[in-house]
Every structure is written in C-alpha cells, then in structure tokens.
C-alpha cells in the first residue's frame, strides 16, 4: 500500500516538473520568437543558421561529447524514437548542439553522433556564439572543474521541440517514458 502511494506521488511529481518546464518556456517565449539568430557550423563543418529550424519541425538537445550519462542516453533514445516513428516522423529534423564547443570540434561531433544516428545533426562553433545561441533557447550550462584539471558540464537535460516555424512546441524530459516521447514527436510531426 505504501509503495503504491509512493509511486503515485513520484508520478505526480514527474508530471508536475514536466508541466512546469513547459509552462516556463511557454511563459517566456509564448507568442515571441524562440531563439536568436545564429551562425555556427554543423558536424560536417558547413555553416548552419536559425533557418535550419524553419520549414519542418525540429528536435533539439543541448549537451557535450564528454558527457558520461545524460547525453549518450538521450541521443540513443532519440535515435530509437525517430526509428520507431518511421514514416510518421520522416519530416522531423533532429539536432545535438554542443554546450562544450571548446572540445567539441566538428570532427569530434561527427564521430560521436555517427555512433547514434544519421538522422541527428551536430552543431558547434565559436564558444561565444554557441553560448549566446544556447542562452536564447533558455538552456542552462556551466563548466564544472574536476580533479586533475579537467572539467565537465552541467546542462539542461530536456529535449526541446520546435514547430515548423521554429517556435517552442514542448519538451521531452530526461527519463520520460519512450511511449510518451514518441507520442509527443508524432504529434509534432503531424503538425509539421
């Protein structure tokens, strides 16, 4: 009985966090342009701008290639979601934006992302420009020193969903169920 109550509380807390995240983004960006203009490079070292997020719905995840858990897990799951959607998700574009552009060169991004999917495109570039772009999307990141003079990055773990106009359309929280994530992506693709 206590276990059922605890599980119910945890489910309600997870739903509440998801709603608060969505509500925060909607409150900050509802009716206004989402994200700022940017000029960066993709994993093939080709220029990419905010225009990439227009014309078709997009899925964005901000992370870094040295990430021990959240990033590889999310990219693995994202690749699976896109594969499982098949034709229902063919119009979705997926992006992995580095919050650690000092280490994440286009070559490193290309090698890293290629391990997950050819449907996900990496974005990196000049650190100041990358961080300005991340900030314009409401993404949190912070360099955290570790032992031995190295560092890791704390960052937002949610996947952002953008409609065909590039406007905010929702999030997929880290650890959200695969079925819920795929439903959100299918709905996003259908509005494409």
Q: Distance (Å, rounded) from C-alpha 62 to C-alpha 178?
A: 19
Contact present, 141 and 153 (Cβ < 8 Å): yes
Per the model's pLDDT, the better-predicted residue between 82 and 192 turns out to be 82
Average pLDDT over residues 64-92: 96
The pLDDT of residue 191 is above 80: yes
Q: Distance (Å, rounded) from C-alpha 60 to C-alpha 97?
A: 7
Structure token digits, residue 183: 């439903």
Structure token digits, residue 51: 């225009």
Average pLDDT over residues 102-127: 97
- pLDDT score recorded for residue 156: 96
Question: How do 141-145 and 151-155 pair as beta strands?
Answer: antiparallel
The pLDDT of residue 14 is above 60: no
Contacts of 25 (CB under 8 A, 6+ apart): 138, 160, 168, 171
**DSSP state letters, 54-75:** SSS-EEEEEE-TT-SSHHHHHH
Q: Distance (Å, rounded) from C-alpha 165 to C-alpha 176?
A: 25
Give me the domains of the chain, ranges plus CATH numbers: 2-191 (3.40.30.10)
User: What pTM was estimated for this model as a whole?
Assistant: 0.83
Helix (H, G, I), strand (E, B) or coil at 174: coil
The pLDDT of residue 41 is above 50: yes
Rg of the chain (C-alpha set): 17
């Amino acid at each position: 009985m206590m276990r059922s109550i605890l599980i119910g509380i945890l489910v309600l807390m997870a739903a509440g966090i998801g709603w608060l995240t969505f509500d925060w983004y909607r409150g900050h960006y509802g009716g206004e342009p989402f994200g700022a203009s940017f000029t960066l490079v993709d994993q093939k070292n080709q220029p990419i701008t905010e225009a990439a997020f227009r014309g078709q719905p997009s899925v964005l995840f901000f992370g870094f290639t040295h990430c021990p858990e959240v990033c590889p897990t999310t990219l693995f799951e994202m690749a699976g979601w896109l594969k499982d959607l098949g034709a229902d998700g063919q119009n979705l574009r997926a992006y992995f934006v580095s919050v650690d552009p000092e280490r994440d060169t286009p070559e490193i991004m290309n090698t890293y992302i290629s391990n997950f999917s050819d449907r996900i495109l990496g974005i990196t570039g000049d650190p100041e420009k990358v961080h300005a772009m991340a900030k314009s999307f409401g993404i949190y990141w912070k360099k955290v020193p570790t032992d031995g003079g190295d560092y890791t990055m704390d960052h937002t773990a949610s996947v952002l969903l953008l409609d065909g106009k590039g406007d905010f359309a929702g999030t997929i929280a880290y650890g959200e169920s695969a079925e819920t994530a795929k439903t959100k992506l299918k709905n996003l693709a259908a509005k494409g």
